Each structure stands twice: as structure tokens, then as C-alpha cells.
Structure 1
Amino acid sequence: MLKDPKWNLLAALLSSIIFLSGCVERKQLEKLGLMTAVGYDLEQENRIKGSAVVHKFDPLAKNLTKIITVDGNTSKAIRQEQNLETDQNLVMGQLRCVIYSRELAKRGIIQLVDALNRDPSIGNTVYLTVAEGDASSILNIEQKSLKSDLGTYLYNLIKQNVESEQLLSPTLHEFNHFFSDHGKDPVLPILTIKNGAIVISGLALFKEDRMVSTLNSDQLFYLKVLSDKYRSGSFELSFTRSRFKKVIRKEEGIAYRTVYNKFYLNLDNIRSHSKIKLVDKQNLRYKIEIDLASILLEATEPLDLSSPEKIKYIENEANKEMEKEIKKLLLGFQKNGVDPAGFGEKYIASTRGKRISKKGWKEKYKNAKFDVEVKNTITKTGSID
């Protein structure tokens, strides 16, 4: 039976449209320069240096990525100047990472962040970061060893550390949320160059849109415990050796060499849950309860784990150390006037109907008191010999 010629004509027309649209798409892609990462440095007063990693669709080119750096007063003007230095139309729809220099972050970044918010082609999942030095130094690093363009590499670097619970998520959405909500302050990862590679060296703490302090990598664990849940984390604790003398195993005829001046424990597969309670609204006193379950994976000296009492002793020493470090961290937050753990959220939630300004909250926060209780349960012991 013959097919209806109308259907044959329609099928041919659709095929032509698909073919032609495919040709147009390929042609358009070759004319585009995809900005996958951008960086901003404070060049001089009222002048910003903008750098962009631009990925090109050109199968004949040896290097598909190039860096374009110009000066300007606004991010829009910078992009217009960058367009003058390339034969391709620069677009930000594939933007993965934004880097602000340390000096610029200390001055304030909300103008530049707001420009991202106003660009409909930029998604809320773009990662925001701070460079230890200049942003341009990060973007101009030698890229021969990278398997992808630098913007994608930076995105994956941050993403895998967020997923492995080493970092709090630093997306544009989260920064906007915490900036506009005076019950919690934003934090962003710090990027630096170490041995020729880009690494995350710590966390930048923001007071509104200005970076005022930092956390080193050892302190990230405690902020994560306070403000989020661990589902399968890992952490190393440091002690003086004398604190564990009673549980260090000694066997006759076996000599263990002392490698470290201190004693270290590694806790793995950490699962955590924290409760922050405002127990005294008038005097602003908080009760912080942190429950942890973990595996004792490794220790720098052999431990005697033959009895529940000795395991309990190890748990208690770990609890005391974590309580001490968390209290020290909170005092540092107060000193710098930052609240990345969200104590302001708890206070505001308890005073519904009574608005408080950002300034008013910061004044109260200075005198807040914190009672910290950590309960860590060791569920298993791993290889610690």
C-alpha cells in the first residue's frame, strides 16, 4: 500500500529543518567563546582587573582555552572590553567558578555578586571563591596537566570536596541567601597555588559582603559540625601523648618507636547531628549539643581496646578536645563579628513579631555565651596497630 504523499512531504520538511538547525547550531557554537571561570582583582582605587578563562569550539586549534585580562570599573564594562580582544562572542552561560582576590574580598564584593544575579544566563549553582593572593594568578596557572579547561577543573575541585563533606557548599544561591539573611553569615573557600597546583587552603569568613577572617583546613570540621550534618566524614584529632598513656598498649619483647611528638587519632565514617538551643533569651545563652558516631580508624601508637572502659576513656578524651576547639572557634567568631553557624537564626526564630536590625543583632551577639557538649560514640575500631 502506497503512503500518503502529504506524509512523505511533511517527513522531508522536518528532516530538512533538523538538518539546517544542526548546521546553524554548529556554526553558532564556533562563533562563541564560553567563559568557564572569571576572576576579579582590585587593580587600583575604583579600578578592577577582570580575567576570564575562555573555552573555544575550534577543532583545528591546539589550545582550546585562553585567558583574557582587562581593566574596568564594572564587570559589564570588563566583559565588553574582553569582547574586543577576541573574534568570538563571549557568553557566560557555562560559567562554573568566580574568584575574588583577597584584597577585593576585604573591601566588599556585593557589587560584583549582584552583577551575577542580574545576568539571566548565569545559574545559581556557580561556585564563588576567594584567592589567597590575586585571582589572575590562579587563572593563569600552567594548564598542561589539566584534563579539562580550568573553569571545569575548579568546579570539580570544589564539588568533590563538598560531596566528601570537607567543605560547605559555596554556590551563588547560598551566598545570596546568607548575605540577605542577617541570622547567618556567608563563607567561601580560599584557593591558593601550592607546588604548582591549585588547592583549597581554608575558608573565608564574611561579615555581610566583606571578608574579615579565615579558618584553616583543620577548623573546617568544627564549623561543619555546628552548621550541618556529617553523613560519612573523617577527621584527625591531636593530643599530648601523656593523655593517652593509660591506654597505649605495651607488649613485652616488642619495641614501638615513637615517630611523633604528639598523639593522633583518626576518626572515620563520622555521622553527626547537632542541636543549638537558645536557653536564655534575655542574656543570650546557647546550649550546643553535638552527637557523633564514628569509627576509630587509626592511631599513631598501638592502643589497648580490650575493655569497654578503655574505649570509653578514648571517647571522653576526644569529646573534651572537640569541646575545647569548638569553644575557641566560637570566641573567634564573636571577636570578628561573624556568625557562620547561624546563632542569629535561632534568636530571630524565638522573637517572632519583634524585628531586629543587623546592627542590633551584632551588638547582642558580642556578649553571647555558649555551653558546648560533645558526645562521640566509637562504633568500631579499625587498623590502629
Structure 2
Amino acid sequence: MSCLIRKGLLLFICFSLVLLSSCGFKDIDKRIFVLAIGIDLTENKEKPYKVTLKMAIPSGAIKGGQGGEKYTYVSKESETLAKALRIMKTHVDKEMDFGHSSVIILGRSVIEKDLADVMDLLIRRRDIQMISWVGVGEPSAENVVKTEPHSEMAVSFALANFFSDNGVESAYIVSTFLFDLRRRMFESGLDPILPIFRANKKKTKLMVNESIIAPKNNNNITLSSNETKLYNLLENKANKVDIHVKKNKKSFTVAIENSKVKYKIITPPNSQPVIEMKIKTTGIIEETNESLSPSLLKKYSKLANQKTKKDTLQLLSRFRDENVDPLGFGLRYKATRLHIKDTYKEWTRIYPNVKFDVTVETSIKSTGTVE
């Protein structure tokens, strides 16, 4: 009996193999890899979308195996993003591979008018990675995607280097993944924030040191370089933060090596709601306009505390007054209050009246001098 079962199972497997489809594998010389996607809005109502792709040419496909163009670009205007991508396939002689597309650049007009529709395509396409980084391009996404800095090499993609710690490490750069952008768009109590890429006219230089908050009400807020740096500090994402302190004629800059930020939301009955935030940092003095004494480190730490507290209160107050919440205060409130039926609605009533109580503890370990 067992012999008949084995024979029947073998026949079933053989018939199943006949029904399997091929894997559709294509050799590398038949592919072209899309590294970046740029999406802009046009003034043409019939073709409102403009898509720009930056594609890497495999070194074996370059004549002679060396030199030549490292990248090629394709742009197309269309009534839908899906159609634009399919038409662009007919502009190259190889299959477009989106598996290596690590950066998506959106034009400023997309952020202001049509972010939800654009996100719908990016999320639905299974060949676009959810771990792709997303940024805003100025003057347009096309200009940023087509920019080729002199430092860019065929094996070193400049746009991706700004986001990953393998390249640039800066407290002035906000890194946002595609999956995190989608979460922030649909999650109440948390607003999207994206880095702003600026390209020069010659398309040889990229600058990333500001960011933009894009809340659900399209009331976009641009953060300056210092505000972006402070946001990263409050999000516990700070990397090599500097704090510039100026008191009378004395000024010095503290390089923060470690930081930790905690906060809690307090809503006492019949009293003003308060967000208590504690910031702890350690660092050394890396620049000063005059000689500093190691015996006065506590005094310098106190001055750094006052500066950080002042800047933090200004930024948090701006978030509250502009009714934006990139730090997720509303999300924390929903997670810690279970007795209210509509928790987020209650938070929208509380947030405009909230008071911030910030405590900063800075520990300066050294004046940076060598005796």
C-alpha cells in the first residue's frame, strides 16, 4: 500500500511541474537599473504628471568597458503615473529594474497639491522598495535627479549617500523612508517631514540642510537649517550636533557626542496641559574666540543649557502655533490615554493650549585643549 502511495505522490509532483511558469529571468546585459525616481506636476491639465528616471548603465554595457556615460535619463509627461512609467519602457532597449531604486524625489508642487495620489502608485507597485528614501526637490524633482556632483562615481550614488550613514553624516539632514512617509500621512497625531534637496543651475552640486513638514491640512512648514538640526536632536536622531553659545563677548561651540531626549504629557484636571521634556547631552568644546579654563566647565555647561532650552522652546512653540506635529505628541497621547472615546479629537483640543516645560542637562567633558 505504501508503494502505491509513493508512486501516486510522484505522479502528482510530475504533473504539478508541468503547470509551473518560468521565472522570467533576464541577464544583466538585458537590464537597466533605475536608481532614482523624480515626480513633478506640470501646468498641462491633460498631462499633469512628469516622471524622470535616473538609470545606471552597467559597466559592461559601456563601449570599451570603461569611461563613457555612467547614467542615462528618461522623462515623460502623462495623465497618470502608471502610464508614464509604461511609456518610458519603450524609450530604452533594456528592461527597467526598479529593485535598486533607493531614492524618490518629489517636486514642491506634489507636496502642496497631490501627495496622496502620488503615494498611491508608489505604495502599490511591488517592484518599488518600501525602504526607499523620499525627499523634496527644488527647483524641481527633475533638476535634482539629473544633478551629477563631481564627487559622484558609478559605484557611488550621490543622492543615496546623503541619507545613509555610509556617506554623509550630518545633523542637518532628515532621513525619511517611503514606508514611514505613508505611516505619517495616514496616522493621526504624527505629521510627515521630508528633507529638501536643492540643485544649482549647472546641475553639479546638491545641498541638503533644510526640511519641510507636510501635515494633512497641506499647511506646509519649512524648517531652517538650525530648526532641522534641533528637530533631529529632539527625535533622538542627532549625529554630530553643534551648539553655538554666545554670552557678551565670549562665544564657543559645543560638539555634542551623545544625547537623549524624553518627554511625557501631563493633563491635570482644570489646569493647563503640560509637556515635560528632559534633554541630556554630553560633548566637548571644539571652537572658541578666547581661552577657556577647564575649571569652569560647569559654567560653560550652564550656558549651553540656557541656549539649548531657549532654541527648543522656540521650535516647540512654533510647532504648536502652526498646528503641526512631526514629533508625534498626538500619537503618544493616544497611546497613553485609553479612557476617552475619541482620543485624538480630545488631543486636537488640548494641543493649542499646551505648555512646554523643558529641562536641559549638558555635560561638557573638555574644553578641547591639550596641555
TM range (shorter): 0.7 to 0.9
- What residue in structure 1 maps to residue 179 of structure 2? 173
Distance 2:119 2:94 in 1: 25
Percent identity between matched residues is 22
Structure-to-structure mapping, 1:166-245, within 5 angstroms: 166-194=172-200, 196-208=204-216, 210=218, 212-228=220-236, 230=238, 233-242=240-249, 244=250
Distance 1:29 1:146 in 2: 23
Distance 1:233 1:264 in 2: 16
Distance 1:323 1:190 in 2: 26
Among candidates 293, 301, 318, match of residue 304 of structure 1: 293
Structure 1 residue 36, shift from structure 2 partner: 0.8
Q: 1:281 to 1:31 in 2, by over 3 A?
A: farther
Number of residue pairs the alignment of both structures matches: 336
Distance 1:89 1:28 in 2: 10
Distance 1:148 1:176 in 2: 31
Distance 1:45 1:335 in 2: 36
Distance 1:32 1:211 in 2: 41
Structure-to-structure mapping, 1:134-173, within 5 angstroms: 134-142=140-148, 145-148=151-154, 152-160=157-165, 165-173=171-179
Distance 1:34 1:355 in 2: 50
Confirm or deny: 8 A CA contact 1:67 1:140 kept in the other structure. Answer: yes
- Report the 3-state secondary structure (helix = DSSP H, G, I; strand = E; otherwise coil) of the residue aligned with 2:311: helix
Confirm or deny: 8 A CA contact 1:42 1:101 kept in the other structure. Answer: yes
Structure 1 residue 280, shift from structure 2 partner: 2.1
- What residue in structure 1 maps to residue 367 of structure 2? 381
Which amino acid in the other structure matches residue 293 of structure 1?
A: T
Distance 2:264 2:129 in 1: 35
Q: 1:285 to 1:321 in 2, by over 3 A?
A: same
- Report the 3-state secondary structure (helix = DSSP H, G, I; strand = E; otherwise coil) of the residue aligned with 1:44: coil
Structure 1 residue 159, shift from structure 2 partner: 1.1
Structure 1 residue 59, shift from structure 2 partner: 2.5
Distance 1:338 1:218 in 2: 18
- What residue in structure 2 maps to residue 60 of structure 1? 62
Per mean C-alpha deviation after superposition, the further-off stretch among 123-132 and 214-223 is 214-223
Confirm or deny: 8 A CA contact 1:268 1:295 kept in the other structure. Answer: yes
Q: 1:76 to 1:355 in 2, by over 3 A?
A: farther
Q: Which aligned runs of 4 or more in structure 1 are off by greater than 4 angstroms?
A: 142-145, 161-166, 357-360
Which amino acid in the other structure matches residue 44 of structure 1?
A: E
The root-mean-square deviation of aligned C-alpha atoms, in Å, is 2.7
- What residue in structure 2 maps to residue 318 of structure 1? 304
**Gaps spanning 5+ residues in structure 1: where?**
1-23, 245-262
Per mean C-alpha deviation after superposition, the further-off stretch among 327-336 and 108-117 is 108-117
Structure 1 residue 104, shift from structure 2 partner: 1.7
Confirm or deny: 8 A CA contact 1:281 1:347 kept in the other structure. Answer: no
Which amino acid in the other structure matches residue 279 of structure 2?
A: I
Distance 1:280 1:357 in 2: 13
Confirm or deny: 8 A CA contact 1:275 1:290 kept in the other structure. Answer: yes
Distance 1:361 1:45 in 2: 41
Confirm or deny: 8 A CA contact 2:138 2:198 kept in the other structure. Answer: yes
Q: 1:200 to 1:316 in 2, by over 3 A?
A: same
> Which deviations, in whole Å up to 9, do the C-alpha atoms of 1:21-54 show, x marking residues without a partner?
xxx96x6322222211011111126501111102
> Which deviations, in whole Å up to 9, do the C-alpha atoms of 1:61-84 show, x marking residues without a partner?
422421111112322111012112
Structure 1 residue 351, shift from structure 2 partner: 1.4
